[in-house]
Amino acid sequence: MARFIYGILFILALPLILLRLWWRGRREPGYRAQIGERFGRFPQTLTSGAIWLHAVSVGEMRAAVPLVRVLRSKFPAAPLLLTCMTPTGRAMANMLFGGDAAITIAYLPYDLPWLTRRLLRRFDPQILLIMETEIWFNLVHTCSVRRLPVLLVNARLSERSRTGYARFAPIRSLVREALGAMTVVAAQSVDDASRFNSLGARKVVVTGNLKFDMPLDQALADQGSAWRAVLAGKRRVLLLAATREGEENLLLHAYRRQFDEAARNEVLLVIVPRHPQRFDEVFRLAASAGFAVARRSAATISPDKCDVWLGDSMGEMAAYYAMCDLAIIGGSFAPLGGQNLIEAAALGRPTIIGPHVFNFSDAVALAGHAGALQQVADADEAMRTARVLLADDSKRKAMSAAALAFTAAHRGATEKTAGLITAVMSPAS
């Protein structure tokens, strides 16, 4: 009954969903493209028997890289269907996998049974892999009815989300039904596994976090070093990574308060907003705060001194981390749950993170225990801590070594996850 009511409410909400899609398309035109796919209309053709992997947006798509590589190696004859929900996720998928003719990239249809059935008829997948936290109730039910194995991989569930799901009986019923219908939940941590079990998951296996297995892109690392040589000179580079709306203003003003003019002259501040539609907004914000701002997207990278360099590009986060001495991770200074810190740690970068990390609490706790990061209470404390660390080479060096050791110690999730997938796809093995 709960799923029936959910379906009715979803249908009633469709006009508002489409209106919001069109509205967001004013700033991000990708939301107005390929709308037919969101209703199960796909122009692509794909050989049947595909491995279907769903990654909602940029972070999940990037996390899927090591898994996709292993799957292409283990199942070379099986085509791969990649679905996502956001234009930035699709752009990232095209950037990472667009050159592989065996991979089809598309939007996931809205969560109505007949739309999912259209996708299943078109692509006839043999397994569905859902990255991290996406639980679409009709999608999972429709796949279960067709006996299509569904695995939630790299699965994470914050205590905040678990409590929210459990609070209301109808939602709790929907989540319990969906998790119970999944073949396997491959959880990132023991705590994640416990939370999934408490909500009704039938089989949960702890495999670790795929993001620890992300391969180093040496070309991007070299690019970051080249940027630093041109732009920073002898200045330290302080990176504000994956910042979200409202955070840049907090951090810029805290930077001005905690770094006097002489200290600011010794620092190049690099800001990389999380969402590309906000690049222009952040440029104007930094300029109006009195900083001399330059942009990555400029035709040439000028060695002329700037106070702030705006990282307005996609797919180059590793280069921004490679150029910095210290990174402050965004998404954590407003109640947004934080952003992934593993990429910074994998490059050996000391990290500061704010108080709001409920989406990455396990990784933050592990990294903090290892000595790879410092967690702070607010933007001012972040900048006070940054000023101390930028002046202390030995402390940063120790944090860098700790970050590299932290990431090395947690690798191996990809092979464990691939083993589960292989067991489902080839039960005789």
Q: Report, as residue numbers or ranges, the catalytic residues.
A: 60
Cβ atoms within 10 Å, residue 119: 22
Please report, for residues 198, 206, 276, 299, 311, the alpha-carbon distance to residue 294 in angstroms, rounded to integers and kept in the order given: 50, 45, 16, 11, 9
Judge residue 241's burial from the number of C-beta atoms within 10 Å of its C-beta, 0-12 exposed, 13-18 middle, 19 or more buried: buried
Q: Look-up: residue for tokens 């994470």?
A: 156
C-alpha 352/C-alpha 325 separation (Å) is 12
Location of structure tokens 């996502």 = 84
Nearest to 84 by CA among 104, 101, 67: 104
Cα–Cα distances (Å) from 120 to 108, 109, 194, 316, in that order, read 11, 11, 32, 34
**Look-up: residue for tokens 């039910």?**
141
Question: 131 burial class (0-12, 13-18, 19+ CB within 10 angstroms)?
Answer: buried
For residue 152, which of 78, 202, 86, 220 has the smallest C-alpha distance? 202
Which string of DSSP letters, residue by residue, matches 389-422? Answer: HHT-HHHHHHHHHHHHHHHHHT--HHHHHHHHHH
- Other Cβ atoms closer than 10 A to 195: 23
Question: At CA 287, angle to CA 283 and CA 292, rounded to 5?
Answer: 105
d(C-alpha 152, C-alpha 131), whole Å: 6
Token pair of 429 as six digits: 């093995």
What whole-number distance in Å separates Cα of residue 322 and Cα of residue 349?
8
